[in-house]
């Protein structure tokens, strides 16, 4: 047996993987920009970027060098015992770039879910209220706390409850399958106004915050329309409720702006980040204005590894690289190119029900029939498998798993984009 087969057998035996669905494993040896390379030397174009993480490309030289230089000096010093220079500098940088109401102070942790745990706690502490509202197609993580505010119950929660009480859900603006049977944009945004009912009839009017992704990722690439965001923000202001903007997946150029909320013309009170912040080095952030952050008293919230200096140095270099190369703009242009090509395919390929997204956060919803919109779940899985056989890694998501997810590094080359589009067209035709 070769080393690759040995590793696959060992992974089965020793790793708690909980992989969603088993395909022939890609045993990754190394990666470069938009390509991952298997142990056998087989190359795959990475159209999923480690689930929207390596926005600046795999093994980005500038980011990796910054991490190496920092690792030679200091790998760990707990940020609640010491002052750590790259961590302090990163907090200042975030205060400069994170959109919102006087964003100033950051708490660092290691993963998206932890950033959101921080946001929930600080919102409760500041407002002295305890209830939370999330959107029906949301995804905020896999801890008990973040699953409690994740709307996709069937797919994500399963049998591990009970979850946190005092959480209500308001409708996502899933325009392709409008819960009110309306058509965007002549719909008057009943889904947004419905938030008033949710507050009045499913809470005790003790709501600390509403949490929202500016473009829902795991829920099936559902962009929040500007009008929806505006109405929601107004209702929250009238009722003295904070807005937590979950930028874990949309942050750092992914949607064609540095942060997804910049498409919406609203200002959040708290912003959570992870994934794209350090191009693969683990670090997460929860940023808010000083007055909210200062409601935490000493000892209220801590993380041993949070704000790790190597990851913080990587994040600083990553942000600099993004600005130098104008990666948000690249994402916008490449994303428009991909979405146009996909929409052009729709006339011939009836399996495509909807193409949507912003920048390089693109969803292709598959349906068996455009009238009934029956979700094409097994077809989506088959397309992903065919793409893998052709050397392209893509994702599948959505409430029932019928949405293809295209989220490559923002540095993806046009040559690889064209290759992926061709492979996708072939795969869709084969499955149709």
Ligand X SMILES: Cc1ncc(COP(=O)(O)O)c(C=O)c1O
Point out which residues bind ligand X (CB under 6 A).
Answer: 51, 111-113, 116, 139-141, 213, 217-218, 246, 248-249, 274
**What single string gives the DSSP state of each residue in 317-342?**
HHHHHHHHTTHHHHHHHHHHHHHHHH
| 318 or 427: CB nearest ligand X | 318
User: Residue 168 and residue 151: Cα distance in Å, rounded?
Assistant: 9
Least distance to ligand X from the beta carbon of 248, Å? 3
Determine the distance from the C-alpha atom of residue 333 to the mean position of all C-alpha atoms in its chain, rounded to a whole number.
Answer: 20
**Entry field: residues in the chain:** 432
Least distance to ligand X from the beta carbon of 308, Å? 15
User: Residue 256, by phi and psi: left (phi above 0), alpha (psi -120 to 50) or beta?
Assistant: left
User: Residue 362 and residue 196: Cα distance in Å, rounded?
Assistant: 31
| 308 or 427: CB nearest ligand X | 308
Place of tokens 């829920």: 219
| 109 or 330: CB nearest ligand X | 109
User: Residue 202 and residue 197: Cα distance in Å, rounded?
Assistant: 8
Least distance to ligand X from the beta carbon of 157, Å? 14
Least distance to ligand X from the beta carbon of 149, Å? 10
User: Residue 118 and residue 134: Cα distance in Å, rounded?
Assistant: 16
| 86 or 220: CB nearest ligand X | 220
What residues contact 174, with CB distance under 8 A and at least 6 apart?
136, 137, 219, 220, 222
| 94 or 431: CB nearest ligand X | 94
| 72 or 154: CB nearest ligand X | 154
Query: 225: which DSSP letter?
Result: P
Closest residue to ligand X in the complex (CB): 112
Least distance to ligand X from the beta carbon of 306, Å? 13
Least distance to ligand X from the beta carbon of 213, Å? 5
Structure tokens at 357: 């997204």
């Amino acid at each position: 047996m070769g080393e690759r087969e040995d590793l696959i057998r060992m992974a089965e035996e020793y790793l708690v993987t909980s992989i969603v669905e088993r395909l022939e494993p890609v045993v990754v040896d190394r990666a470069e920009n938009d390509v991952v390379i298997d142990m056998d030397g087989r190359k795959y174009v990475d159209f999923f970027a480690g689930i929207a993480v390596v926005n600046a490309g795999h093994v980005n030289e500038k980011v990796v060098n910054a991490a190496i230089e920092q690792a030679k000096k200091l790998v760990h010093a707990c940020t609640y015992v010491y002052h750590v220079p790259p961590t302090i500098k990163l907090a200042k940088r975030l205060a400069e770039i994170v959109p919102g109401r006087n964003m100033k102070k950051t708490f660092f942790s290691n993963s998206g879910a932890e950033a959101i745990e921080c946001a929930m706690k600080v919102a409760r502490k500041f407002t002295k209220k305890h209830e939370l509202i999330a959107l029906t197609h949301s995804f905020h993580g896999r801890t008990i706390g973040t699953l409690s505010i994740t709307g996709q119950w069937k797919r994500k929660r399963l049998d591990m409850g009970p979850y946190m009480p005092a959480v209500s859900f308001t409708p996502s603006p899933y325009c392709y399958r409008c819960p009110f049977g309306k058509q965007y944009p002549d719909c008057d945004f009943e889904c947004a106004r419905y938030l008033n009912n949710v507050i009045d009839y499913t809470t005790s009017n003790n709501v600390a915050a509403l949490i929202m992704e500016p473009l829902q990722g795991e829920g099936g690439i559902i962009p929040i329309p500007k009008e929806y965001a505006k109405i929601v923000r107004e209702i929250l202001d009238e009722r003295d409720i904070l807005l937590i903007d979950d930028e874990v997946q949309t942050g750092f150029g992914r949607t064609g702006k540095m942060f997804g909320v910049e498409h919406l013309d609203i200002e959040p009170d708290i912003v959570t980040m992870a994934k794209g912040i350090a191009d693969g080095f683990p670090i997460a952030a929860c940023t808010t204005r000083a007055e909210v952050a200062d409601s935490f008293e000493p000892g209220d919230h801590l993380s041993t590894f949070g704000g790790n200096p190597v990851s913080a140095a990587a994040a600083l270099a990553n942000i600099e690289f993004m600005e130098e190369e104008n990666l948000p703009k690249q994402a916008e242009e490449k994303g428009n190119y991909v979405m146009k090509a996909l929409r052009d395919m729709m006339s011939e390929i009836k399996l495509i029900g909807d193409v949507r997204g912003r920048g390089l956060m693109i969803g292709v919803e598959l349906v068996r029939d455009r009238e009934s919109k029956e979700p094409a779940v097994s077809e989506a899985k088959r397309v992903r498998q065919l793409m893998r056989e052709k050397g392209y890694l893509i994702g599948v998501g959505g409430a029932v798993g019928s949405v293809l997810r295209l989220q490559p590094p923002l540095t993806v080359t046009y040559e690889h984009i064209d290759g992926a589009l061709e492979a996708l067209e072939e795969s869709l035709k084969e499955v149709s």
